[in-house]
Amino acid sequence: MARLVVFLGMVLCLSVATASDVAAQRRGFIIGFGAGPGFTTGDVDSRVGIATDFKIGGMLGESLQLYYSAKSNLLFYDGDPEATGVSGIGAAYVLPSGFNINGLAGLATWVDFDGGTSNGFGLGAGVGYEFTDKWVFNVGGTFGVFEGDKVFNIAATISILSH
């Protein structure tokens, strides 16, 4: 686990150091991945974990992104790994200033790696800011319902977004 954190930190530092502030036209294919701290609460015990954010899709014009997204929190409860999150269709409206507003609707999932998986309906929303070309800081949350249990995930991620 420590090696993964060190590797991701090195990739982040190298990428930020070599990023340029080129104002390019944004159209076509996008793909991105991010990570950061996450928090899970609701009808389950509140826990801190590692949040991830993946998206793949396209730019429609210069302001609208439409994509498949998977947002999750990896948790450790009594030493056992678990994960919860929402994956589905997402959209973001990107303002010229670099700020964005995003949303997500799809399948909520709770995975107990020692046991089973629960699925349900999920929603997500957040705000972000592209602080340098291709690097986005995003704060958001997801909400999922699994067999009557409600779960909220809150995450602050830094993502690299290729477009």
pLDDT of res. 21: 38
pLDDT of res. 5: 44
* Tens-place pLDDT, residues 121-161: 999 999 999 999 899 999 999 999 988 889 999 999 999 99
- Note whether residue 19 is domain-resident: no
pLDDT of res. 26: 55
pTM above 0.75, yes or no: yes
CATH number of the domain where residue 130 is located = 2.40.160.20
Distance CA(119)–CA(5), nearest Å, equals 29
* Residue corresponding to tokens 């998206």: 55
Q: Please enumerate in sequence order all residues whose Cβ is within 8 A of that of 142, keeping only pairs 6 or more positions apart, or say none.
A: 71, 85, 86, 104, 108, 122, 123, 124, 152, 153, 155
pLDDT of res. 158: 97
- Note whether residue 87 is domain-resident: yes
**What tokens were used for 54?**
């993946």
- Note whether residue 143 is domain-resident: yes
- Note whether residue 17 is domain-resident: no
Ranges of the chain with pLDDT below 50 = 1-25
- Note whether residue 8 is domain-resident: no
Domain residues for the domain of 99 are 27-162
The helix/strand/coil state of 9 is helix
